[in-house]
Amino acid sequence: MATVLITGANRGLGLEFCRQYAEQDWHVIACSRNPDDAFDLNNLATHHNVQIEALDVAEFEQIDALSKKLADLPIDVLINNAGIYTDNSTNGFGHLDYQAWTKSLVVNTEAPLKMAEAFLPQIKRGNKKLIVNISSLMGSIADNDSGGSIFYRSSKAALNAAMKSLAIALKDQSVGVLIFHPGWVKTDMGGPNGLINADQSITGMRALIENFSLDQSGSFVKYDGTPMPW
């Protein structure tokens, strides 16, 4: 049985990843900061092979502890989905909230790298050997023609740069890295004006994950496979 580990699994894209993989009979390890409050995730776990684990990705000792707990489990796909958006109308340039910016960088950039470090032994024992990262078009410097969202943009651009380097570093170990723009999705973070729903986004990304080959490692692509500008 293939195994996927998903962070930020309690809602939105993370929950839809869990649902689709669970319905395909994967062993799903679903990570959430507050599992007791994750009603939809717990309901999914009552009907499918979903193992729920408490994990706040901003607390790196929790990542190490979970890796130790799952030390003997091969992981085919790690999906770094957890993310935050801390920009608002009161903390833009001129009155930047550096604490909020740091939190964005920890969760959106550092935590995915920490997850990759901590779970690399399990990933190397899996069959797929793939680290997936949910980034954003807003992480593209080339696409930024509207400005704003300094915290989120910089954290996702940094994620892209770091994961590109990781792809190069891990290629000789046959471990792949993918960076996704999931599209503008109707979720709590994406808002009600999104152009697609979570089912469309995750279906597209799962197809790319399924057909991944190592020569694609380090790619930054849209959910439908369209290459994204850096």
Please tell me the predicted confidence (pLDDT) of residue 65. 98
Question: What pLDDT digit, counting tens, does each position of 155-210 carry?
Answer: 999 999 999 999 999 999 999 999 999 987 866 555 566 567 889 999 999 999 99
Q: Is 184 helix (H, G, I), strand (E, B) or coil?
A: coil
Please tell me the predicted confidence (pLDDT) of residue 106. 98
> Residue 122 has which token pair?
């399990």
Query: Distance between CA 223 and CA 230 in Å, rounded?
Result: 16
Please tell me the predicted confidence (pLDDT) of residue 197. 84
Cα 48 from chain centre: 22
Query: Distance between CA 125 and CA 144 in Å, rounded?
Result: 39
Please report the DSSP string for 74-114 in residue order.
--SEEEE--------TTSSTTS--HHHHHHHHIIIIIHHHH
Report residue 196: phi and psi, to 5°: -135, 165
Give the residue from 125, 128, 122, 131 showing the smallest Cα distance to 159: 131
Give the residue from 154, 175, 60 showing the smallest Cα distance to 111: 60
| Under-50 pLDDT residues of the chain | none
Please tell me the predicted confidence (pLDDT) of residue 188. 59
With the C-alpha atoms ordered 108, 134, 141, 114, is the resulting torsion angle positive or negative? positive
Please tell me the predicted confidence (pLDDT) of residue 184. 78
| pTM of this structure | 0.96
Give the residue from 6, 4, 23 showing the smallest Cα distance to 15: 6
Please tell me the predicted confidence (pLDDT) of residue 171. 97
Please tell me the predicted confidence (pLDDT) of residue 189. 59
Please tell me the predicted confidence (pLDDT) of residue 125. 98
Query: Distance between CA 89 and CA 205 in Å, rounded?
Result: 32
